Structure 1
Amino acid sequence: MTVIPMGRAVTVLGAGRLAVREWPEVSPGPGDAVVDVAYGGVCGSDVHYWQRGEVGESVLADPMVLGHEVVGTVRTAAADGSGPQAGTPVAVHPAQTCGECPRCREGRDNLCPSLRYLGSAARRPHTHGGFADRLLVPGHRLVPVPEELSLRTAALAEPASVARHALTRMAALAGGVRDRRVLVTGAGPIGLLVVALAHLDGAAEVTVTDLQARPLEVARQVGATRTLSAGEPLPPVDVAFESSGAPAAVAAALTALPPGGTLVQVGQLPGHGVAAPWHLTVPRELTFAGSSRFAGGMAETLVTIAENPELFAPIVSTEYTVDEAGEALAVASHPERSSKVLLRFGAP
């Protein structure tokens, strides 16, 4: 069930230490496919492992291949028929779960106690990621990409699935966003994807806040009806998504919500010292809920992207070759310069 990188792979060695290492070829088992990687999206977690050697409580102890947002083409199909045929463009599902625990059985496999995610140091041995020329992948973890969708835009499949899960959480808790006034705090890639999906889901208004001008400009391209600098007075809203992970943004969102409002927290908050006006949750009967990664597959999300490529394409800001991985991570760490940064693998 393990994903194994092969060929050149972007490997973090410790805080501030990055290398493109050669990883050996591995023979596939009956249920394994070989995928030629085309693109890998740089996530904030990749940047944090590179900058600090840790993401929250996940601390790097050994060299690890980065990357969990990966698309490519099947070179060799799984011999047991468990995955797509050779030549199929695919997205790699980043999660390995047990499939047997109560959370998995109820369709919440994102909360599986045994979950392993590509490019994560949460467990030891670490779970290598997909920033490599080739991957050995269990066939059942490959999701076909609609043939009309470019792999460059399909590289948004994983973060878009995270955003879709946040909207699914809102639907379960508050009936969704249709005809609602929606607030999204933080216009990083996840926030922008929440904006695009809320727009497609029929939100009446989508207000977006951020500290930087560039992400707000992109937000307007993908469905925002109003953009504001963080700290400016907010208009009336019905529901909110907090995607920045900043305590000040949580405070702003809670304050903006009306009685009965709901806030879905998508951004990863600090492990301590989060101050916010929690007292408002009682007299206003506010609902505050977390949204972690995503449950289920990515097929539905890929179809949505394929049906609206012009809406999602602006979120991809730039791409770099694998040999430019250090520059890619550096640019991705500056939201005033980029949105979703991609690493390009294979021949130019």
Structure 2
Amino acid sequence: MATAQALVVHAAGDLRVEERTLPEPAPHEAVVAIGYGGVCGSDLHYVAHGAVGESVLRAPMVLGHEVSGRVAVAAADGSGPTEGTPVAVHPATPCGQCGYCAASRQNLCPHTSYLGSAARFPHTDGAFAQRYVVATDRLLPLPDALSVRTAALVEPASVAWHAVSRAGDVAGKRVLVTGAGPIGALVVAVLRRAGAAEIVVTDLHERPLRVARELGATRTRLGTAPEDLGADVAIDSSGAAAGVATAVRALRRGGHLVLLGLPPAPEQPFLSGLVATRELTVAGSFRFHAEMADVIAAMADGSLAVDAVISHEFPLAEAEQAFAVARDATASGKVLLRF
């Protein structure tokens, strides 16, 4: 039986690199040699707390859902990309049968399985491994102009792309982004490509604000935005009650609020009175689905520049150090694991 090293979380504070047996590929499955994986906030939460919200670890689980690589063994039925093709891996597998799937809102499918998620039991193992067996319909070939390393950002960039789409047409508008971590920074890059006239970014640390400026922010502020900013759109990527409050107060009457960041607990203080009296439109934003193809094309043609988000790269053997660095928002952006 073939084996590969994988990054497995066993419980809070218990992260291990261990040898895992690869399942025998079904005819419609390929084996991907994973090149790079991005450490996400959810990965950090599983390691730090043994849970992400209500998704609690009940058994060891391979982490990772932001991955790219090359096809090592093509699918036996001839579907999907051929051996050697560079690919990004779509982490979601919706049911394809519910009303949300029928309405092309697969990101809302309640039956979706997602790589590296403990939302269901048995858990859905992720793809932080040297080899990963995956259905070919989850593979997106990469153009020659897009490196496998940069393609590790396709998944989080798709999250940002979906969030901006939830705001409607942002061309020529003043947009506030609260929270400039990796997702917030990618939101800035997408907004720049979408033609936003002004992109104001707030964060509690100076380093992410420097990255935001490099990606297209026209103005940055340490702390909160001015209440008289008069933003047409505000996108909160912080998930913090204070960040959402900053966004609400900085919006003009009739403005549009997008809630992208996930809060530490479902119930949070919210300025509903201002939302009502200013007649704000509020939209949630959760994951993505078809956006990955658009993101890949935009990254390949250079219209979506994202490399500045990457701050560090570590080999799989140094995963613990990689996670320690990724936890420090003052010193890191997107941390990559190299497989």
Q: How far has the Cα of 1:304 moved from its partner? A: 0.8
Q: CA separation in 2, counterparts of 1:27 and 1:225?
A: 51
Q: One-letter code of the match for 2:237?
A: S
Q: CA separation in 2, counterparts of 1:313 and 1:114?
A: 33
Q: One-letter code of the match for 1:187?
A: A
Q: One-letter code of the match for 2:286?
A: S
Determine whether 1:187 maps to 2:180. Answer: yes
Give the aligned partner of residue 121 of structure 2. Answer: 124
Give the aligned partner of residue 65 of structure 1. Answer: 62
Cα 1:293–1:310, aligned 2, differ >3 Å: closer, same or farther? closer
Q: CA separation in 2, counterparts of 1:89 and 1:226?
A: 37
Cα 1:6–1:187, aligned 2, differ >3 Å: closer, same or farther? farther
Q: One-letter code of the match for 2:47?
A: W
Q: One-letter code of the match for 1:198?
A: L
Contact 2:225 2:250 in 1 (8 A): no
- Matching of residues 149-298 of structure 1 within 5 Å: 149-171=146-168, 176-233=169-226, 235-298=229-292
Contact 1:248 1:276 in 2 (8 A): no
Q: One-letter code of the match for 2:103?
A: E
Q: CA separation in 2, counterparts of 1:80 and 1:139?
A: 10
Give the aligned partner of residue 318 of structure 2. Answer: 324
Contact 1:260 1:285 in 2 (8 A): yes
- Matching of residues 5-24 of structure 1 within 5 Å: 6-24=3-21
Contact 2:44 2:327 in 1 (8 A): yes
Q: How far has the Cα of 1:119 moved from its partner? A: 0.3
Cα 1:168–1:231, aligned 2, differ >3 Å: closer, same or farther? closer
Q: CA separation in 2, counterparts of 1:240 and 1:203?
A: 12
Q: Deviations over 1:34-66 (max 9, x none)?
A: 000000000000000000000000001100000
The farther-off stretch of 233-242 and 197-206 is 233-242
Q: How far has the Cα of 1:221 moved from its partner? A: 0.3
Q: One-letter code of the match for 1:211?
A: L
Runs of at least 5 residues in structure 2 that lack an aligned partner in the other structure: none
CA RMSD for the aligned pairs?
1.3
Q: CA separation in 1, counterparts of 2:136 and 2:106?
A: 18
Q: How far has the Cα of 1:6 moved from its partner? A: 4.9
Q: How far has the Cα of 1:283 moved from its partner? A: 1.5
Q: CA separation in 1, counterparts of 2:292 and 2:175?
A: 24
Give the secondary-structure state (helix, strand or coil) at the position aligned to 2:192. Answer: helix
Runs of at least 5 residues in structure 1 that lack an aligned partner in the other structure: none
Q: CA separation in 2, counterparts of 1:278 and 1:226?
A: 27
Q: How far has the Cα of 1:31 moved from its partner? A: 0.2
Contact 2:176 2:201 in 1 (8 A): yes
Give the aligned partner of residue 75 of structure 2. Answer: 78
Give the secondary-structure state (helix, strand or coil) at the position aligned to 2:253. Answer: coil
Contact 1:149 1:309 in 2 (8 A): no
What TM-score, normalized to structure 1? 0.94
Pick aligned residue for 1:110 from 107, 126, 129: 107
Q: CA separation in 1, counterparts of 2:194 and 2:77?
A: 39
Q: Deviations over 1:199-218 (max 9, x none)?
A: 01000000000000000000
Contact 2:193 2:304 in 1 (8 A): no
Give the secondary-structure state (helix, strand or coil) at the position aligned to 1:107. Answer: coil
Contact 1:243 1:266 in 2 (8 A): yes
Q: CA separation in 2, counterparts of 1:80 and 1:300?
A: 27
Cα 1:90–1:272, aligned 2, differ >3 Å: closer, same or farther? closer
Give the aligned partner of residue 311 of structure 1. Answer: 305
Give the aligned partner of residue 23 of structure 2. Answer: 26
Q: How far has the Cα of 1:273 moved from its partner? A: 4.8
What TM-score, normalized to structure 2? 0.97
Q: CA separation in 1, counterparts of 2:99 and 2:199?
A: 36
Cα 1:297–1:201, aligned 2, differ >3 Å: closer, same or farther? closer
Give the aligned partner of residue 144 of structure 1. Answer: 141
Q: Deviations over 1:235-286 (max 9, x none)?
A: 3311010001110010010111111111111100132551132101111111
Cα 1:304–1:142, aligned 2, differ >3 Å: closer, same or farther? same
Contact 1:153 1:309 in 2 (8 A): no
Contact 1:8 1:20 in 2 (8 A): yes
Q: CA separation in 1, counterparts of 2:74 and 2:225?
A: 53
